[in-house]
Amino acid sequence: MKILFIGDIVGSPGRRAVCELVPKLRARHALDFVIANGENSAGGNGITPATAGEIFSAGVDVITSGDHVWDQKEVVELFAKEPRALRPLNYPAGVPGRGAGIFAPKNSESKILVLNFQGRTFMPPLENPFQLAGAEVARWREQTRLIFVDFHAEATSEKIAFARMLDGRVSAVVGTHTHVQTADEQVFPGGTAYLTDAGCTGPQEGVLGREMAPVIQRFLTGLPQRFEVATKRVQLQGVLIEVDDASGRALSIQRVVEPL
């Protein structure tokens, strides 16, 4: 199975990149499944049913998220109606939405499980993903060995440790949140593909997808600023992973940087 994972979609420029480029990438790479982190797709903060619908219509099969998922109040409506939209699994019981889903790609006989976890280092305190992940993976592996994990976290060490812990038990662990694509793509000895951060799908001429001037001003003065979404040098960033359907082991991993 060929899986494309798209790094954090930022605002309307990121959505435009997804809408224009995903159909081309699907055809070029004969993709079976597309996952995208969409937590910043609505004006750079949060996600709504409308922005999610735009992303799904472009050919994305599942949307993951992270710590900004609650920035738009409409997200509760999204989670109530759309099983293809995920939030981090390690939120407490009773929180709207779900952190895992098993899906059947249209052109494949195999099913794929998508898990969404959020880290805790320099992040809002949630339940410990290290303690939850093992049991969660074991429960789902009875249904499929094709398991993709979006680990939304700040600290590189936490991402690497989490992925190493799951090596051989999941097909891939890809990090999100920092909006800076890393160059450490690899397949671990147990067969798990790994990348510390998939990057940012949106404007690159700025600071993490935002206009640079107010961000610099914030660092200079310490005063609050309005961080508007930047507009220039838009790219789709992510990672392409091929997985053996029978074993769930990753066969290859390749970073993707596609200019709009």
Which of 29, 68, 152, 177 is an active site residue?
68
d(CA 211, CA 206): 5
Q: Quick count: other Cβ atoms within 10 Å of Cβ 166? A: 25
**At 132, phi and psi to the nearest 5?**
-85, -30
**What is the C-alpha radius of gyration for the chain, rounded to an integer number of angstroms?**
17
8 Å CB contact between 123 and 154:
yes
Catalytic residue status for 179: no
- What does DSSP say about strands 193-195 and 200-203: parallel, antiparallel, or unpaired? unpaired
Q: Which residues are within 8 A (CB) of 143 and not within 5 positions of it... i.e. 6 or more apart?
A: 102, 111, 113
**At 10, phi and psi to the nearest 5?**
-110, 110
CA distances from 51 to 60, 106, 150, 174, 191 (A): 12, 23, 20, 23, 34
d(CA 46, CA 73): 9
Q: What is the 3-state secondary structure (H, E, C) of 126-184?
A: CCCHHHHHHHHHHHHCCCCCCEEEEEECCCHHHHHHHHHHHECCECEEEEECCCCCCCC
Residue in this structure with the two tokens 């976290």, named with its chain if needed: 153
> What residues are annotated to the active site?
68
